[in-house]
Amino acid sequence: MSEQREMKEASPGYRTVTIFVAGIAVIALVALVTVGVLQNKPLPQKYKYGIVMDAGSSHTALYIYQWPAEKDNNTGRVTQTDSCRVDGPGISSYASNPRGAGESLGDCMLKARQAVPSSRHGETPLYLGATAGMRLLNIENASASDAVFQAVEAALHSSPFSFRGARILSGQEEGAFGWVTVNYLDDRLTQGQETTGALDLGGASTQISFVSARFDGTESPHNLMTFRLYGNDYNLYTHSYLCYGKDQALRKMLALQTASGPTSLSDPCFHPGYIRTRDYSELYASPCVARSKPQASPRNFTLKGTGDFDSCRTAVKKIFDFSKCNFSRCSFNGVFQPELQGSFGAFSAYYFVLDFLNLTDTSAPMETIKDKLREYCATPWADMQRQHPSTKVKYLAEYCFSGTYILTLLTEGYNFTADTFKEITIIRKIKGSDAGWTLGYMLNLTNMIPAEAPDAPPAAPRRLRVHHGAHGPAAGGPSPLHHLHPQQDSVLQPAQDRMS
Ligand SMILES: Nc1ccn([C@@H]2O[C@H](COP(=O)(O)OP(=O)(O)OP(=O)(O)O)[C@@H](O)[C@H]2O)c(=O)n1
Ligand SMILES: [Ca+2]
92 CB less than 6 Å from ligand 1?
no
Compute, in angstroms, the gap from residue 54 CA to the centroid of ligand 1.
12
**For residue 385, is it within any domain?**
yes
Question: Cβ contacts of residue 113 below 8 Å, gap of 6+?
Answer: 121, 159, 160
Shared domain for 217 and 331, answered yes or no, is yes
Query: Is residue 205 annotated as involved in ligand binding?
Result: yes
Residues 131 and 199 both lie in one domain: no
Output the residue whose Cα is nearest ligand 1's atom 19. 202
The residue to mutate among 53, 54, 57, having the most atoms of ligand 1 within 8 angstroms of its beta carbon, is: 57
Ligand 1 pocket check for 203: Cβ under 6 Å: yes
Query: Does the Cβ of 56 fall within 6 Å of ligand 1?
Result: yes
Q: What is the dihedral of CA 266, 269, 271, 275, to 10 degrees?
A: -40
Nearest alpha-carbon partner for 247 in 7, 56, 39: 56
Q: Examine residue 334 and state whether it is found in any structural domain, yes or no.
A: yes
For the beta carbon of residue 494, count every other beta carbon within 10 angstroms: 21
Alpha carbon of 349 to ligand 1 centroid (Å) = 5
Same domain, residue pair 240 and 110: no
Structural domain includes residue 387? yes
Tell me which residue range forms the domain holding 462. 47-170+436-483
Of 304, 318, 301, 309, nearest in space to 266 by CA: 304
Look at residues 286, 291, 297, 289 and name the one whose alpha carbon lies nearest to residue 255.
289
Identify whether 81 is part of a domain. Answer: yes
Does 370 map to a domain?
yes
Regarding whether 200 and 339 lie in a shared domain, the answer is yes
Alpha carbon separation from 173 to 200, 238, 256, 330 (Å, rounded): 12, 9, 31, 21
Q: Is residue 203 marked as binding?
A: yes
Number of domains in the chain: 2
For residue 430, give the nearest of 65, 186, 198 by alpha carbon.
186
Quick check: is 452 in a domain? yes
Asked if ipTM goes beyond 0.85, one says yes
Q: pLDDT (tens digit, 9 = 90+) per residue, 299-336?
A: 999 999 999 999 999 999 999 999 999 999 999 999 99
Over residues 266-303, the pLDDT tens digits come to 999 999 999 999 999 999 999 999 999 999 999 999 99
Distance 170 CA to ligand 2 centre (A): 12
Q: Do 187 and 334 reside in the same domain of the chain? A: yes
Closest atom of ligand 1 to 246 CA is 24
- pLDDT value at position 192? 87
Q: Is 57 in the pocket of ligand 1 (CB under 6 A)?
A: yes
204 is in an annotated binding site: yes
Domain check: are 424 and 442 in the same one?
Answer: no
What does DSSP say about strands 264-267 and 344-348: parallel, antiparallel, or unpaired? Answer: unpaired
Give a yes or no: residue 40 inside a domain. no
Domain annotation covers residue 285:
no
CA–CA distances in Å: residue 453 to residues 24, 79, 229 = 48, 20, 8
Ligand 1 neighbourhood includes 20 CB (under 6 angstroms): no
How many angstroms separate the alpha carbon of residue 53 from the centre of ligand 2? 11
CATH number at residue 407: 3.30.420.150
Question: For 431-473, how does the pLDDT look when each residue is reduced to its tens digit (9 = 90+)?
Answer: 999 999 999 999 999 999 999 988 766 554 444 545 444 333 2
Interatomic CA distance for residues 126 and 439, integer angstroms: 12
The catalytically annotated residue of 153, 174, 398, 452 is 174
pLDDT of residue 45: 81
Half-sphere exposure of 230 (CA within 13 A, CB side): 15
Which residues of the chain are under the pLDDT cut of 50?
A: 1-10, 460-463, 465, 467-500
pLDDT at 191: 84
CATH number at residue 132: 3.30.420.40
Count CB neighbours of 93 within 10 A: 18
Q: 457 with 384, same domain? A: no
Say if ligand 1 is within 6 A of residue 129 CB.
Answer: no
Q: What is the CA radius of gyration of the chain?
A: 29
Same domain? For 67 and 79 the reply is yes
Return left, alpha or beta for 182; rule: phi > 0 is left, psi -120 to 50 is alpha, else beta. Answer: alpha
Distance 192 CA to ligand 1 centre (A): 32
Residue 67 shares a structural domain with residue 199? no
Rounded to an integer, what distance in angstroms lies between the CA atom of residue 275 and that of residue 473? 54
Please give the number of the atom of ligand 1 that sits closest to the Cα of 353.
Answer: 28
Query: Any known ligand binding at 114?
Result: no
Round to the nearest angstrom and report the end-to-end CA distance of the chain. Answer: 109
Question: Burial code of 308-345, b = ≥16 C-beta within 10 A, e = fewer?
Answer: bbebbbebbbebbeeeebeeeebbbbebbbbebbeebb
- Single out the residue in 373, 399, 434 at which a domain terminates: 434
Q: Are residues 67 and 163 in the same domain?
A: yes
pLDDT of amino acid 454: 80
Q: What is the pLDDT of residue 8?
A: 41
364 and 405 both lie in a single domain: yes
The last residue of one of the domains, among 400, 417, 434, is 434
Give the ligand 1 atom nearest the CA of 59.
17
Cα–Cα dist 3/5, whole Å: 5
Task: Count CA atoms closer than 13 A to 107's CA, side-chain side.
Answer: 11
pLDDT of residue 145: 98
Residue 461 and residue 358 share a domain = no
Of all residues in the chain, the percent with pLDDT exceeding 90 is: 79
How many C-alpha atoms does 353 have within 13 Å on its Cβ side?
26
Q: Is 388 in the pocket of ligand 1 (CB under 6 A)?
A: no
Is-catalytic flag, 174?
Answer: yes
